[in-house]
Structure 1
Amino acid sequence: MKAARVVALGLGAIACGCSGNQSALHPYGAPAIHVEHLIVGIVALCTVVWVLVMATLGAALWRRRQKKVETEISQQWLTMTVTAALALTVILIAGMTIASFYTTRAIGLPAKAALTITLKAQQWWWQVTYAGSAAMPGFQTANEIHIPVGQDVQILLESADVIHSFWVPSLAGKQDLVPGRSNSLLLRAEKPGVYRGQCAEFCGLQHSHMAVLVIAEAPADYTRWAVSQSADAIMPAGPDAAAGRTAFLAKPCAACHTVRGTAATGTSGPDLTHVGSRQTIAAGLVETTRGSLAAWIADPQTLKPGNNMPMVPLTSFELQDISAYMESLK
């Protein structure tokens, strides 16, 4: 099979996008609920202002049509209207400022979070690092964040290149990732589910293809997932995957990617130790299947032009074997 044919087979997965909730008006976490209340309140106030402006305009047009209008009365009416409008504007702006201030305080970080995750944005993917503990070593993954339901999670935000912005509308507000500076964000999910997020600051050619999934699960399920992710990659059982492991380590792939438990210790690309367990690859671009893995490995520039992964020369057999190995890394 030619590499071009493999790319064509994998292209069908592009339409999948990323599943999950993505709406600031359907919050499933405390920070997002506070933000929704602020949004609804401001929209309601602006609606009232619009109705009052339209009513005042209608009254002015109606009075203009009257033939006998006392000039003095009209002047008094105009003065009262302008004064009332000015006073109402000051009150509304002050009210919205105060509401925004208290909303910001409400979604601030708690004194102690149950979990700390470092999220580093890069063109155009997300590096996710889980802090280690006495019971479990830290580990890295990419483009997916797993969190336990009902617990406060502190997200430390960093950028490796340009300004990005992390936004999961159903769980939290938006926060920028600025090179040379570390920001923090509170993430909390009250209900299990998959919540879609994205980069919300234009960061280059593939900005629109920089999605992130937040997977909220019961604490026991999260613990099992974390234990599995902190372990080294298992040895492949099938002959294709075993041959793929050998080819992967012999090719330049190992210079850019890490697969824990092997000689691959590259740090410029995503950690692939458990890539087969992720729902998507290429930051939400395609579902994680053997076909999409092969398409991405064969020609990543066709699927995501401008990304930093080069096209590695492979035979058709090497391509099939490496894609089998990647799929086996659960």
Structure 2
Amino acid sequence: MIEAVWGWPPPVLDPAGPYSAQVTTLSWALFALGVFVTGVVVVALWVAIKGPPNWKANLGGERAIWIGGVAFPGVVLTALLIWGLTLTASLTEPIRGDEMRIRVTGEMWWFRVEYLDPDGAVMMVDANEIHIPVDTPVVLELESADVIHSFWVPHLSGKKDMIPGRRTLLRIEADRAGEFGGVCAEYCGGQHALMGFIAVVHEPAAWQSWLADRMDTLANAAEPVAQESQRYPGDADLYPTEAEYLERYDARRGYDLFMETGCAACHRIAGSEANGLAGPDLTHIASRRSLGAGILPNHRGTLIGWIGDSQSIKPGNRMPSYDRLSAEDLGHIAAFLELQK
């Protein structure tokens, strides 16, 4: 799923914001310098093996060593260091305090996302997905709940470690709308390679509408059990009529199973008695683009598969497989979760 939003060219060479553009410029300079130095080494090697005797003597002389081995690297590397620090100075500018803030906590192996109000209080919780507006600086408060992780959206900024017991800050900003893949960039255990997320960048008006919808959902949250008018008709090929679908997959039955089988002990859904904090918040799970921290597209089939046997999909993750549930029961739970938008 993350690969699908990265696209081509590689994200480190396809900046979508001012902070990533600086990193990309520095990267191209390093590539160019690397090619130049490689060329010099190849030429020197050819001279040492095939060159005329006087060239070989000059190449191995004391003057060549001082110029090529000491002076040239010292001048070039010093100039590169000064230029690089100047170029990326904005990445370490002091935080003003009036920026939009999102707290992201790395956990094994997913990302908890909390949107903060101007006073620093949590106003909305999500997982493995962040939503931001175009042309708006955003400060990410990065934390870790267990081991060292690292937050990286190559299109939008550099990477920053998430260290247990500390809070680090990272600026990101996008200059175009789109969906951009992000990953944990620090080895954090067996499923490190399957720990990703998606950054969704909206036009300002669209982002305000998205935020208003989310806040309205939270403000009016009630017991999130499907009513007749809310239930999904399902696949037309399998269930030609809504009645047939409802007979097969019942979201109310799914809610009961969700509460009875222990899901509510780890997951929270606003407006319900499910208030678990160990796992991702599922209040808006139906609107997310992926499951399992960016490894699966989000639809009914993958949702059923993840609930039923997450350990075969992402071995060692902290959600047990519910293989004791029947296919019918898994379908009921998925039908209920499909309503959580």
Q: Structure 1 length normalisation: TM-score?
A: 0.86
Partner of 1:87: 71
Counterparts in 2 of 1:309 and 1:75: CA distance versus 1, 3 Å? closer
Tell me, yes or no, if the aligned pair for 1:163 and 1:201 is still in contact at 8 Å.
yes
Considering only aligned residues, what root-mean-square deviation do their CA atoms show, in Å? 2.4
Cα distance between partner residues in 1 of 2:59 and 2:50: 17
Counterparts in 2 of 1:247 and 1:89: CA distance versus 1, 3 Å? same
Which residue identity is paired with 1:48? F
Counterparts in 2 of 1:97 and 1:206: CA distance versus 1, 3 Å? same
Offset of residue 75 of structure 1: 6.1
Cα distance between partner residues in 1 of 2:303 and 2:55: 80
1:326 paired residue among 322, 337, 341: 337
Counterparts in 2 of 1:98 and 1:248: CA distance versus 1, 3 Å? same
Partner of 2:314: 304
Once the two structures are superposed, what CA deviation does each residue of 1:162-200 show, in whole Å capped at 9, x if it has no partner? 111111111111111111111111111101011001111
Cα distance between partner residues in 2 of 1:162 and 1:155: 18
1:291 paired residue among 301, 305, 328: 301
User: Helix, strand or coil: the match of 1:296?
Assistant: helix
Counterparts in 2 of 1:113 and 1:212: CA distance versus 1, 3 Å? farther
Partner of 2:36: 48
Tell me, yes or no, if the aligned pair for 1:18 and 1:284 is still in contact at 8 Å.
no
2:280 paired residue among 243, 256, 270: 270
Offset of residue 48 of structure 1: 2.1
1:26 paired residue among 2, 10, 14: 14
Cα distance between partner residues in 1 of 2:267 and 2:285: 11
Cα distance between partner residues in 1 of 2:283 and 2:301: 19
Cα distance between partner residues in 1 of 2:335 and 2:89: 49
User: Helix, strand or coil: the match of 2:4?
Assistant: coil
Relative contact order, higher structure (CA 8 A, sep 6+): 1
Counterparts in 2 of 1:70 and 1:178: CA distance versus 1, 3 Å? closer
Offset of residue 315 of structure 1: 3.6
Which residue identity is paired with 2:63? M
Pairs aligned (count): 309
User: Helix, strand or coil: the match of 1:267?
Assistant: coil
Cα distance between partner residues in 1 of 2:59 and 2:255: 86
Which residue identity is paired with 1:245? Y
User: Helix, strand or coil: the match of 1:20?
Assistant: helix
Cα distance between partner residues in 1 of 2:76 and 2:159: 24
Counterparts in 2 of 1:264 and 1:182: CA distance versus 1, 3 Å? same
Tell me, yes or no, if the aligned pair for 2:17 and 2:173 is still in contact at 8 Å.
yes
Offset of residue 106 of structure 1: 2.1
Offset of residue 205 of structure 1: 1.2
Partner of 2:183: 198
Partner of 1:7: none
1:58 equivalent to 2:68? Answer no
Cα distance between partner residues in 2 of 1:103 and 1:180: 31
Which structure 1 residue ranges, 4+ long, deviate > 6 Å from structure 2? none
Gaps of 5+ in 1: 1-15
Partner of 1:98: 82
User: Helix, strand or coil: the match of 1:45?
Assistant: helix
Cα distance between partner residues in 2 of 1:131 and 1:124: 23
Which residue identity is paired with 1:160? A
Q: Structure 2 length normalisation: TM-score?
A: 0.84
1:314 paired residue among 325, 328, 333: 325
Offset of residue 128 of structure 1: 0.3
Once the two structures are superposed, what CA deviation does each residue of 1:85-125 show, in whole Å capped at 9, x if it has no partner? 11111011212221332244222354245310000010111
Cα distance between partner residues in 2 of 1:52 and 1:205: 42
Gaps of 5+ in 2: 232-245
Cα distance between partner residues in 1 of 2:59 and 2:12: 45
Which residue identity is paired with 1:127? R
Tell me, yes or no, if the aligned pair for 1:19 and 1:194 is still in contact at 8 Å.
no
Residues 106-115 or 252-261, more deviating: 106-115
Cα distance between partner residues in 1 of 2:327 and 2:269: 23
Tell me, yes or no, if the aligned pair for 1:18 and 1:211 is still in contact at 8 Å.
no
Partner of 1:250: 260
1:180 equivalent to 2:181? Answer no
Which residue identity is paired with 1:101? L
Cα distance between partner residues in 2 of 1:125 and 1:319: 23
